[in-house]
Structure formats: C-alpha cells, structure tokens
C-alpha cells in the first residue's frame, strides 16, 4: 500500500515547513496549497481558533477529497485583553508584513511595564477526512513580549515572543528547539500520535 496523500492547508512557507518536519517520517505523501494554486483562500469567520481551523480543513478537504490538516493560531497578550488573538495575522491590516505587525504591537505595549507583558501563543490543528473524520488538537505556550525584536529565525511574532525558561525569543531558537516547546509543536505532537494510531487501524 502506497503513501496516502495528506494536504497541509497553508500557503505560509514557515508553517508548512514546521508541519512537514513533524510528519516527515510518517507514511504520508505530504502536499500543501502550492499544489492547488486555483483554490481560493478561506474567510476565517469562526469565533475561536478551533472553529477557524475546522473551517479551513473542511473547505480544502471538500475541494480536494484529501485528508487535510489546517491550523489556526495566534498571539494573546494579557495587557491588551487577549488581542491580537484571532486577528493576529491581520493586526496591522490585511497586507501588512510581519515587521509591521510587530511594530504595531510594540507601539500598543510601549507604556506597559515588564511584569504585565505576559502573553501566550495558541495553536489549534484540525484534521478532516472521509467518513466524518474530524479532530482538533490544541497547543499553548506561555511567554512574554520583549520590547525589541531579537533573532532571525521563525516567522510572525517570533522575534518578540520570549520563552522565559530559555530566556530567548522564538526567533533566537533553532527550528528543533522551537518545535520542542512551541504551541504548534505541542499541537502537532498530538496530531502525529493520532495519525500513527489511525494509520495502524487503516491497514
């Protein structure tokens, strides 16, 4: 029996690389949305990370017929009442760069003292397949927001999100170090475990 196709429903190269790294040694033919340039983006109208992840996974599963993984993730900053949260990717406007989003967030937190700069990254990974298969896996990583970006790895808000036990931002960690502790890493480990068991029963 050949490798089953598995669609990673993202066009974000950083995100696709992280998912691929977690699932690379499982018996799946991993594809991403780069292979489906004509498929539209999904409007994320859900009221939670889980709803948005499921919206995306269902949409691309229906369009391609493939077992599909999608995630929704974001940064919740306590001093901003949980913002940017669901709007993390659109925090500085629909076509803003990572640098512009970071600049906007730091500006909003300019007067916030160190002890109130707590934040967390949240990631929900959704898996949708045939025969009504729908699962979600949640990962959370607690940290704090730095006053200045540091590091060149990662993407999104990684340069300003410090993981206190290591005293480094996500952007200062190697991909392997980040995967071991990140919100997405925690959710993907659960997904990986589920897929291993699912694959065993499928044979």
Residues 6+ apart with CB under 8 A from 88: 73, 74, 75, 101, 156, 157
Distance (Å, rounded) from C-alpha 20 to C-alpha 63? 21
Q: Report the length, in residues, of the chain.
A: 203
Domain boundaries, the chain: 4-202
- Extract the tokens encoding 73: 């993730």
3-state secondary structure of 164: coil
Strands in 4-8's sheet, in edge-to-edge order, are: 28-32, 4-8, 67-77, 118-128, 134-145, 161-163, 168-169
Question: What pTM was estimated for this model as a whole?
Answer: 0.92
Residue 97: left if φ>0, alpha if ψ -120 to 50, beta else—which one? beta
Kindly compute the dihedral angle of the four CA atoms of residues 126, 128, 134, 136, in this order, to the nearest 10 degrees. -10
Which tokens is 6 given? 């598995």
Residue 1 pLDDT: 44
Specify the CATH class of 4-202 in words: alpha beta
Q: In tens digits, what is the pLDDT along the chain, a chain of 203 residues?
A: 457 899 999 988 888 988 999 999 898 999 999 999 999 999 889 999 999 999 999 999 999 999 999 999 999 999 999 999 999 988 998 889 999 999 999 999 999 999 999 999 999 999 999 999 999 999 999 999 999 999 999 889 999 999 999 999 999 999 899 999 999 999 999 999 999 998 888 75
Q: Which residues are catalytic?
A: 72
């Amino acid at each position: 029996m050949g490798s089953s196709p598995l669609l990673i429903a993202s066009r974000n190269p950083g995100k696709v690389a992280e998912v691929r790294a977690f699932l690379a040694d499982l018996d799946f033919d991993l594809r991403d949305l780069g292979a489906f340039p004509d498929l539209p983006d999904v409007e994320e109208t859900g009221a939670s990370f889980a709803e948005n992840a499921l919206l995306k996974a269902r949409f691309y599963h229906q369009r391609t017929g493939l077992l599909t993984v999608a995630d929704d993730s974001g940064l919740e900053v306590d001093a901003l009442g949980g913002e940017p949260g669901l709007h993390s990717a659109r925090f500085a406007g629909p076509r803003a760069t990572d640098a512009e989003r970071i600049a906007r967030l730091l500006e909003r937190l300019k007067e916030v003292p160190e002890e109130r700069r707590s934040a967390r990254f949240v990631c929900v990974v959704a898996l949708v397949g045939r025969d009504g298969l729908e699962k979600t896996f949640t990962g959370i990583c607690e940290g704090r927001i730095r006053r200045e970006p540091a590091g060149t790895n990662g993407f999104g808000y990684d340069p300003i999100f410090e993981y206190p036990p290591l005293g480094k931002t996500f952007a200062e960690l190697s991909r392997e170090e980040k995967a071991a502790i990140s919100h997405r890493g925690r959710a993907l480990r659960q997904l990986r475990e589920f897929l291993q068991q699912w694959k065993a029963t499928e044979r």
